[in-house]
Amino acid sequence: MLQQILEILKYVLPAVVVLVATSLIVNKFLVKEIERKRLAIFEQNSSSALKLRLQAYERLVIFCERMHPTSLISRYYQQQATAQDVQLAMVQGIRAEFEHNLSQQLYVSHEVWSTIRTVMEQEITMINRVGASIGMGASATEFVKQLSEYVLTTESTMPTAIAIEAINREAKHVLLVP
């Protein structure tokens, strides 16, 4: 009986050792393979996130450029319109573009988004201030002239330039550009 047990152990024990060793090797390989795949997915997601952030910066720069008074004048000025019509069209245009770009706040810092909001409000305030400085029923030409003069005589940097600088600074930081 003992002889039979020893005979069985002679065949089973090496098989168990080989099975355990094989199991450990396969397990280690699978863990490394899973880690490699996770890393690949992380890199792919990082690349996609970077692309989305860069697209957000691009869209916000375009928004800032489009709400600059000279850009607004070229898009909304109509000689036969009244000053109030052009003023209203400009303000509505800025707000519509802002709403179109609301989703971009997901991809930029709170500081940049706050700057964009503030600049938008400053541009609208400037347009409304110039509109209020001329009389009701004034021509669009008079409004555009006053707005252009205001932009040219303002000593400080235009709000849109400040916003674009903030966007550029953050984009360079994201891209690790010195």
CA distance 69 to 8: 93
152: pLDDT strictly greater than 70: yes
Domain range for 48 is 2-174
Q: Which residues contact 155 (CB under 8 A, 6 or more apart)?
A: none
Query: How many H-runs (helices) and E-runs (strands) does the chain carry?
Result: 6, 0
CA distance 118 to 14: 76
Residue of 41, 67, 169, 51 whose CA lies nearest to 123:
67
Phi, psi at residue 82, to the nearest 5°?
A: -90, 165
Q: Which pLDDT belongs to residue 143?
A: 94
Residue of 176, 74, 71, 91 whose CA lies nearest to 131:
91
Taken in order 43, 49, 54, 57, is the CA torsion positive or negative?
negative
Cβ proximity of 83 and 105 under 8 Å: no
Q: Which pLDDT belongs to residue 177?
A: 64
Domain count of the chain?
1
Residue 177, number of CB atoms within 10 A of its CB: 8
Q: Which residues contact 67 (CB under 8 A, 6 or more apart)?
A: 93, 94, 97, 119, 120, 123, 160
Q: Which two tokens stand for residue 17?
A: 């050792």
- Could you read off the pLDDT of 10-64 as tens digits, one per residue? 888 888 888 888 888 888 888 888 888 777 766 766 678 888 999 999 999 999 9
Amino acid (1-letter code) at residue 50: L
- Could you read off the pLDDT of 74-131 as tens digits, one per residue? 999 998 999 999 999 999 999 999 999 999 999 999 999 999 999 999 999 999 999 9
pTM across the whole model: 0.74
139: pLDDT strictly greater than 70: yes
Longest dimension (CA), the chain: 117
- Could you read off the pLDDT of 60-79 as tens digits, one per residue? 999 999 999 999 999 999 98
Q: Which pLDDT belongs to residue 155?
A: 61
